[in-house]
Amino acid sequence: MLRILGSAKTACDRLTRREMLRAGGLGMFSLALPDLWRLQAAASPSSASTFGQAKRVILLYLYGAAAQHELYDPKPDAPDEIRGEFRPIATAVPGLSICEHLPRLARVIDRCAVIRSMSHPYNIHSAAYTMTGVERVDIPMELNPRDSRHWPSFGSVLDYLAQQREGVPPALPRNVALPFPFSSRSPQFQRGGPYGGFLGPSYNPVWTEWEGRPLHTLPRWQGTDDVNVADPYLGIDPSSRFVVSNTTQAAPDLTLDRLNTRRSLLDQFDTARRRFDYSAAAQSFDRYHGMAYSLLTSSAMRAALDLEREPAGLRDRYGRNVFGQATLAGRRLLEAGATVVTVVWDEIVIANTAWDTHFRHFERLRDELLPGLDAALSSLLLDLEARGMLDDTLVLCLTEHGRTPQLSRTPRGAGREHWSNVYCNLIAGGGVARGRVIGASDRQGAFVRDDPVSPKDILCTLYHLLGVDPHTTIPDRLGRPVPLVAEGRVLRQALI
């Protein structure tokens, strides 16, 4: 019988843990808890029809926290200091208006469900809280991806579960992230997020590396003065490309013959190694070594990342910047067999960049951020649809929190500060209802008015759509069973 520890907290189906314990002990004719959960899911028509509908998932992650007012929840009737500079425009969904600088998305947003009532209590840049099922976070965790309290990201979990089921790694990694390792372009901070957590580093995503030249340099405010930053999210040269990150690549002079020789030498240690306990750390290393070798000797990854195989017009539509091209490469990886692809709009050189718009808020949104998102997201939706992939590909466009309704005035223009009380996310495909708006904020976009949604709810819904019971447990570093998501519910109102 499943053992559930802790207090009476709500799980994904709104039962408390105490109620689940009671349900698990109803007698010799009672159902096991996993069976009970499956029956409860089947009782909802939407749950029964959408469980496992998604076969793959792509996450577009807007690091730094995108402002709800300037995305999908404009407030044209609010005072100037809240409304801001941009106007709303009508969309393909009657009654739904979004920011005027998302015109292409406005025409295809009827393929999506827009969530206007995201909320949580952690007003920090914790990508890990968005991507993992961890119960709570703090700043030391945010700034240390190796903090022992981190749980695995959903991509790492799905990779782990598939590995337990199938036993051998696939020809193409199941869990890939682009355009370059998270936080690697900003020397100020290393941040938690899309990693293996307590499953170990062998379940980190396989990262790509971007090789190319940024075409534009703009001033970025670092608190005392401006620093000129060459930002690849603004545009890249045509010869740019994505390769497997150096964390798994061989040295330039390591030929395939030399690699095979090294593998042979390593294999000779197997007999001696089996005399020792085969610890979790050893298994993790062995899996990582095997995956690295597979990446080096297989052409599948190189072919998937080769954007020269795509028509120039399609590449233009995605946007000739590192986010647009990484999103297109992500679609190619999904086609080639990857299960999870994460594309991050990351900070460059200094903090308070990417979507962290404390400074030059409207200028950066108008000229950099919104046009890049508009091109990449709208093109991805249409591209997946044209290829017959949207119905079984879950598309997520997520951010970690929102921004203050009240504008702040800074030495470098208006800004919005951190605000986790209400914000917006977008999901599409893979069993998600089309043209639906979930929840609502108040008149100023400051607090949730209807149907609060937690990042945990998004994760429960993701697992459900990918055919994984959100109540599944996996072992932590001490072998204790830990649920995939600490709390949460499946967003049945977001399902078809």
Q: Which residues of 32-60 are buried (b: 16+ CB within 10 A; e: fewer)?
A: ebeebbbebbeeeebbeebbebbbbbbbb
Cβ atoms 445, 122 nearer than 8 A:
no
Q: Which of 390, 466, 407 is nearest to 161 (CA)?
A: 466
277 — phi, psi (to 5°)?
-60, 135
Cβ atoms 195, 157 nearer than 8 A:
no
Q: What pLDDT is attached to residue 268?
A: 46
Cβ atoms 384, 393 nearer than 8 A:
yes
Q: What pLDDT is attached to residue 46?
A: 52
- Residue 211: CB atoms within 10 Å: 12
Q: What pLDDT is attached to residue 294?
A: 53
Listed as ranges, residues in the chain with pLDDT below 50 are 1-9, 14-45, 248-259, 261-263, 265-266, 268-282, 285, 296-297
- Phi/psi region, residue 350 (left: phi>0; alpha: psi -120 to 50; beta: rest), is beta
Q: Which of 366, 398, 375 is nearest to 325 (CA)?
A: 375
Structure tokens at 70: 């300037």
Q: Name the residue with tokens 């999908």.
A: 72
Question: Residue 122 and residue 316: Cα distance in Å, rounded?
Answer: 38
Spell out the domain ranges in the chain: 1-43, 55-494
Question: Residue 105 and residue 310: Cα distance in Å, rounded?
Answer: 22
Class of domain 55-494 (CATH, top level): alpha beta
Q: What pairs with residue 10 in β-bridges?
A: 16
Q: What pLDDT is attached to residue 223?
A: 78
489 — phi, psi (to 5°)?
-145, 155
**Side-chain-side CA neighbours of residue 372 (13 Å):** 28
| Per-residue pLDDT tens over the stretch 204-250 | 999 999 999 999 999 998 878 899 999 999 999 999 999 998 654 33
CA angle 305, 212, 297 (to 5 degrees): 35
Question: Residue 429 and residue 413: Cα distance in Å, rounded?
Answer: 38
Q: What pLDDT is attached to residue 292?
A: 54
Q: Name the residue with tokens 């990201």.
A: 153
**Side-chain-side CA neighbours of residue 470 (13 Å):** 29
Residue type, position 399, single letter: T
CA angle 324, 329, 335 (to 5 degrees): 135
